[in-house]
Structure 1
Amino acid sequence: MGKFVITKRVNGEFQFNLKANNGQIILASEGYGTKPSCQNGIESVKHNAQDDTKFDRKTAVNGKPYFNLKATNGQIIGTSEMYETVASRDNGIESVKNNAPDATTEDLSS
């Protein structure tokens, strides 16, 4: 089972990372102004990760594949790392789908 980890950035914003069982970060959020907003982002990931159409499969300028997970309103709620291959990116998407719905949350922002 995966785990969401909430941290606080140097600029005071909150962010979360979704980590797989092996501790690898499989999805990273943007910065949020408040902790409740960050927690809402986590709930949005849990909800939207079940819908394959919410995963926007992209290729970076350097040619590396990655993905964004979007909310119902189209806003990006999480971004993956850069992958070496399309197959690796697609495995990352499957990992988010499998880990996000039942993931626990660890708050390290204090």
Structure 2
Amino acid sequence: MGTFVISKRFDDHYKFVFTSRKGKTIFTSPSMELKMECEESIEAIKTNIEKYTYVKARAANGKYFFKMMLDETVIATSRKYTTPLLLEKGIDEIIRTAVKSDVLDFTMNEFVFPD
């Protein structure tokens, strides 16, 4: 099962990534000003996964990627894949597991292993 991970960028904006069950990033959201925006976007993805479209493209280096879109809005951009088959597997993992995925929040900037 995949996992949504919310984190803070260096510019104090927030983002979330969706990772596969093996821990590989599948897609990353754009920057958001508030953590609540990330939480709302994740909830929208989980409840309306069938409404999203996946626009496939090829990068200048020849690798494949997709943009997850709702209407004309880019919700997330995938990592780069070496083959079209791996790209399809990434999309399939989102469709199959996003609804039941956990959400992890790593925005507190607290040291995980205190003295």
Structures share fold, TM-score greater than 0.5: yes
1:100 and 1:20 map into 2 onto residues whose CA distance is: 10
**Counterpart for residue 49 of structure 1:** 49
- The ranges of structure 1 where at least 4 consecutive aligned residues each deviate by more than 4 angstroms after the TM superposition are none
What's the RMSD between the two structures over aligned residues?
Answer: 1.4
Aligned ranges for residues 24-35 of structure 1 at < 5 Å? 24-35=24-35
The aligned length equals 108
1:56 and 1:96 map into 2 onto residues whose CA distance is: 14
1:36 and 1:56 map into 2 onto residues whose CA distance is: 26
Q: Greater CA radius of gyration, 1 or 2?
A: 2
Structure 2 residue runs of 5 or longer lacking an equivalent are: 109-115
Aligned ranges for residues 60-99 of structure 1 at < 5 Å? 60-71=59-70, 73-99=71-97
1:47 and 1:60 map into 2 onto residues whose CA distance is: 30
Q: Alignment partner of 1:7: what SS?
A: strand
Q: Alignment partner of 2:99: what SS?
A: coil
**Paired-residue identity, %:** 29
Q: TM-score w.r.t. structure 2 length? A: 0.86
2:44 and 2:38 map into 1 onto residues whose CA distance is: 10
Q: TM-score w.r.t. structure 1 length? A: 0.89
Q: How many angstroms does 1:47 deviate by? A: 3.9
The equivalent position to 1:103 in structure 2, one of 97, 101, 104, is 101
1:34 and 1:68 map into 2 onto residues whose CA distance is: 22
Task: Mark the CA change 1:45 to 1:21 in structure 2 (over 3 Å): closer, same or farther.
Answer: same
1:20 and 1:63 map into 2 onto residues whose CA distance is: 23
